[in-house]
Amino acid sequence: MTTKLAAEAKSYSEAVAAIDGSLQTMDLDYLDLMIIHSPRPWKAFHESDPYFEGNSEAWRALEEAYQAGKLRSIGLSNFEKADIDNILASSSVKPMVNQILAHISNTPTELIQYSEEKGMLVEAYSPVAHGELMKNQDVIHLAEKYGVSVPQLGIRYCLELGMLPLPKTANPAHMKNNADVDFSISEEDMAILKNMEQIQDYGEASRFPVYSGKQK
Ligand SMILES: NC(=O)c1ccc[n+]([C@@H]2O[C@H](COP(=O)([O-])OP(=O)(O)OC[C@H]3O[C@@H](n4cnc5c(N)ncnc54)[C@H](OP(=O)(O)O)[C@@H]3O)[C@@H](O)[C@H]2O)c1
């Protein structure tokens, strides 16, 4: 069971309250993984203030909950290199996960490598590009070549890159399909998929900060 520490909780006391609140809401003694949802509160997602101090405070609360056995593992989400460095500079427990937007046509290679170098498992959220991948003719053709669905190709692509894909579906048949990814993609096709023109339009989800361009 994974849950997220709200992007807005950027003080030690807010983070402690949010962690304990999640445990109470779910009526659990511990959670498997808790991640800071974003280095910046959503309203400031594209702003330049890095919230370094707030993230260090939130991390301290996560570390203490980890050491107390309330959280089995702790990590980050949507953290770029500078945000990761800030956590590493003052942490006693290193982050175990970085959950980031990564899918065919949008592969932040440097961030993936950096997160891995720092000992994190990279979780790829939206591996089907929030459904948009299924509209891309080039991806459809490659999926046909492998005799798989577009979501299967998208999920396998993330696995080939050493990431843990997190597909979402409300349909049990799709869930079964998404788990059936025991095939491999050739190096040539991986290169094509990596270098494909980036999907920019996430449909109605484009209004969410994570789908509307990266902060600089
Ligand atoms: N950390 C963050 O900031 C962050 C941000 C966004 C999302 N996430 C996480 O990432 C996970 C996935 O997110 P997502 O919804 O954006 O992305 P997604 O998995 O890329 O796309 C989901 C869409 O793909 C469809 N789909 C999935 N498998 C399918 C299949 N086999 N055949 C046909 N359609 C299929 C789903 O429709 P059906 O339901 O009809 O199958 C749904 O419309 C979520 O659990 C979410 O918590 C994290």
| Judgement on whether residues 63 and 151 belong to the same structural domain of the protein | no
Q: Is 125 in the pocket of ligand 1 (CB under 6 A)?
A: yes
Kindly give the number of the ligand 1 atom that is closest to the alpha carbon of 127: 20
Q: How far is the CA of 169 from the centre of ligand 1 (A)?
A: 6
Partnered with residue 6 across adjacent β-strands are none
pTM of the model: 0.96
pLDDT of residue 101: 97
Domain count, the chain: 2
Question: Is 114 among the domain residues?
Answer: no
Question: Is 43 among the domain residues?
Answer: yes
Strands 33-36 and 97-101: unpaired
pLDDT of residue 214: 53
| Judgement on whether residues 89 and 132 belong to the same structural domain of the protein | no
Q: How far is the CA of 128 from the centre of ligand 1 (A)?
A: 6
Q: Which of 76, 95, 114 is the last residue of a domain?
A: 95
pLDDT of residue 215: 41
Q: Is 151 in the pocket of ligand 1 (CB under 6 A)?
A: yes
Distance separating alpha carbons of residues 169 and 63, to the nearest angstrom: 32
Distance separating alpha carbons of residues 66 and 20, to the nearest angstrom: 12
Residue 88's domain spans which residues? Answer: 1-95
Determine if residue 162 is left, alpha or beta; phi over 0 gives left, psi from -120 to 50 gives alpha, anything else beta.
left
With a cut of 50, which residues of the chain have pLDDT below it?
215-216
* Other Cβ atoms within 10 Å of 197 Cβ, number: 8
| Judgement on whether residues 8 and 54 belong to the same structural domain of the protein | yes
Question: Is 113 among the domain residues?
Answer: no
Query: What single-letter DSSP state applies at residue 198?
Result: P
Listed residue (137, 161, 163) closest to 150, CA to CA: 137
| Judgement on whether residues 31 and 89 belong to the same structural domain of the protein | yes
| Judgement on whether residues 135 and 82 belong to the same structural domain of the protein | no
Asked whether 146 and 183 are in contact (CB, 8 A), the reply is: yes
Q: Is 215 in the pocket of ligand 1 (CB under 6 A)?
A: no
Kindly give the number of the ligand 1 atom that is closest to the alpha carbon of 173: 31
| Judgement on whether residues 62 and 132 belong to the same structural domain of the protein | no
Q: Which of 36, 71, 95 is the last residue of a domain?
A: 95
Question: Is 117 among the domain residues?
Answer: no
Query: What single-letter DSSP state applies at residue 128?
Result: T
